[in-house]
């Protein structure tokens, strides 16, 4: 498919909702969300996360979709087209760059989930009982690179087929399977003896645990979780048909994402509490605490395997959307054929992922900067710096610069006023606070 035919390749309405939910629901919901919820106070944090999603996430999601469909271009050119200024396009390019690097890091973690699915089904996961040791040994070695390659090959094969035949079809197949698995695992987790303690940790807020820091982390997570600030929703927005309501789509995608986070929490917290594991251990939570819990439950290999399959499906539908951002940019800007763009950019992200992955095991000296593996640096810079800066760009653009948002969004006058207020005044201020906090300028 060449770049010209790509221009008329659009999502169907349902296909778009499924693809956008597929993008939003990912490692953010099932790997990052549980461990930060564990670290920042459980239910109170979850509540804040929901508030951030509703007040800031939804309006910014709508802004990104409207800019994409209005500009009918990639995450950079849409801004140039709508403003007539290349400077805005250059600011939009930052998100393309962010998506490119996040893909490298995301593909590595997505690979871990595939490996854990296989380990669990075969029962090998439960052999020696030292889950932390197993995890640390695995992520620092060469094996994750093979799994990362598998993730990249699947992502490339989907993207090569284009928007409606590739991205849409893939999501229409995977999202229903994801829902079935999620509900099945949630029922199973909630029916464990003693599941109540985990449920109340997750759903009964203790507001004394809230700090300024947890509020900012919740906001950052709301953005990450809705796939904002990485040009993803701008790119997908360009493939949405004129007849589709962007307001309803925003609501459907946002709600899908909230429900997913809720169910993910209802699987993870009861499971680890029942087996007496603390939820505060950080990024290893899903890969260390959960296997320990699965090993102790009847049919643990099956449920563990299904859990990691769920995680890898969620990760790959998101990976597809992340890689599409630089692919759309390259087909339009460099006039590359879609096939070549997908292959070249997929290969580059894979290559960059190699040192990121190896840095977790020490690797060469240059793979560690200031005592932190480059893997952590890329995550930090993309998630905590580029993501808020790009979100700031899009809110200011949609709220102050571009005058066509009212028409493009199709919102009624009342909803439009509310939306405009949020993207003009509330979202930029809060996003700026997140940025200043992570940049070390303010402390909370």
Q: Which residues bind ligand PFF (CB under 6 A)?
A: 23-24, 26-29, 102, 224-225, 227, 230, 232, 318, 322, 383, 387
- Assign 42 to helix, strand or coil: coil
Determine the 3-state secondary structure of 212 from DSSP. Answer: helix
Q: How far is the CB of 142 from ligand PFF (least distance, A)?
A: 25
Q: How far is the CB of 137 from ligand PFF (least distance, A)?
A: 25
C-beta separation of 155 from 346 below 8 A? yes
Q: Nearest 5°: phi and psi at 296?
A: -95, 0
C-beta of 193: minimal distance to ligand PFF in Å? 32
Provide the minimum distance between the beta carbon of 24 and ligand PFF in the complex, in angstroms, as a whole number: 5
23 or 395: CB nearest ligand PFF = 23
Q: What is the SS3 assignment for 193?
A: coil
Task: Map residue 373 onto helix, strand or coil.
Answer: strand
What is the C-alpha to C-alpha distance for residues 418 and 331, in angstroms, rounded to an integer? 36
Q: Which is nearer to ligand PFF, 190 or 381 (CB)?
A: 381
By beta-carbon proximity to ligand PFF, the closer residue of 28 and 363 is 28
Residue with Cβ nearer ligand PFF (74 or 383):
383
CA distance readout (Å), 174 to 36, 169, 182: 26, 9, 12
Instruction: State the nearest-atom distance from the C-beta of 171 to ligand PFF, in Å.
Output: 13
Q: CB of 408: closest distance to ligand PFF in angstroms?
A: 23
| 3-class secondary structure, 235 | helix
Q: Identify the three-state secondary structure at position 368.
A: strand
Q: Is 128 exposed, middle or buried (0-12, 13-18, 19+ CB in 10 A)?
A: exposed
Name the percent of the chain in helix, strand, coil, to the closest 5: 80, 0, 20
CB of 230 to ligand PFF, least distance (A): 4
Residue closer to ligand PFF by CB (options 25, 420) is: 25
Which CB atom, from 17 or from 274, has the smaller least distance to ligand PFF?
A: 17
- Shortest distance, CB of residue 236 to ligand PFF, whole angstroms? 11
Q: What is residue 402's three-state secondary structure?
A: coil
What DSSP element (H or E) covers 300?
Answer: helix 300-333
Residue number of the CB atom closest to ligand PFF: 28
CA distances from residue 418 to 53, 166, 406, 414, 433 in whole angstroms, order as listed? 15, 36, 11, 6, 21
**Shortest distance (Å) from residue 26 CB to ligand PFF:** 3
C-alpha span between 314 and 322 (Å, rounded):
13
């Amino acid at each position: 498919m060449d770049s010209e035919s790509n221009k008329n390749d659009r999502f169907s309405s349902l296909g778009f909702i499924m693809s956008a939910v597929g993008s939003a629901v990912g490692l953010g919901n099932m790997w990052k969300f549980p461990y930060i919820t564990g670290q920042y106070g459980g239910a109170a944090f979850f509540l804040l996360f929901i508030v951030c999603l509703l007040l800031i996430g939804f309006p910014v999601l709508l802004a990104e979709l409207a800019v994409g469909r209005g500009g009918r271009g990639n995450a950079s050119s849409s801004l140039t087209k709508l403003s007539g200024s290349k400077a805005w396009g250059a600011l939009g390019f930052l998100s393309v760059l962010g998506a490119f690097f996040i893909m490298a890091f995301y593909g590595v973690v997505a690979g871990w989930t595939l490996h854990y699915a296989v380990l669990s089904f075969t029962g090998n996961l439960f052999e020696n009982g030292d889950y932390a040791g197993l995890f640390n040994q695995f992520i620092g070695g060469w094996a994750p690179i093979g799994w990362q390659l598998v993730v990249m090959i699947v992502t490339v094969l989907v993207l090569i087929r284009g928007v409606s035949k590739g991205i849409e079809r893939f999501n229409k197949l995977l999202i229903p399977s994801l829902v079935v698995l999620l509900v099945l695992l949630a029922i199973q987790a909630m029916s464990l003896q003693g599941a109540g303690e985990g449920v109340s940790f997750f759903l009964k807020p203790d507001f004394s645990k809230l700090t300024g820091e947890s509020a900012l982390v919740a906001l950052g997570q709301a953005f990450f979780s809705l796939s904002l600030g990485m040009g993803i929703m701008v790119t997908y927005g360009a493939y949405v048909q004129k007849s589709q309501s962007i307001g309803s789509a925003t609501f459907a995608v946002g709600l899908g994402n909230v429900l997913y986070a809720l169910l993910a929490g209802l699987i993870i917290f009861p499971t680890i509490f029942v087996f007496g594991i603390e939820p505060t251990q950080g990024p290893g939570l899903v890969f260390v605490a959960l296997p320990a819990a699965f090993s102790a439950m009847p049919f643990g290999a099956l449920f563990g395997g299904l859990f990691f399959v769920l995680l890898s499906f969620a990760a790959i539908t998101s990976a597809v959307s992340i890689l599409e951002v630089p692919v759309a940019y390259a087909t339009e800007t460099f006039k590359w054929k879609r096939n070549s763009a997908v292959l070249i950019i997929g290969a580059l992200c894979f290559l960059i992922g190699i040192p990121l992955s190896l840095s977790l095991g020490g690797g060469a000296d240059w793979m560690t900067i200031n005592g932190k593996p480059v893997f952590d640096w890329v995550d930090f810079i993309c998630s905590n710096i580029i993501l808020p800066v790009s979100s700031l760009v899009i809110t200011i653009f949609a709220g102050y610069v571009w005058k066509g948002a009212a028409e493009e969004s199709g919102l009624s006058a009342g909803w439009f006023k509310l939306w405009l207020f949020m993207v003009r005044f509330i979202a930029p201020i809060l996003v700026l606070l997140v940025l200043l906090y992570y940049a070390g300028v303010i402390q909370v």
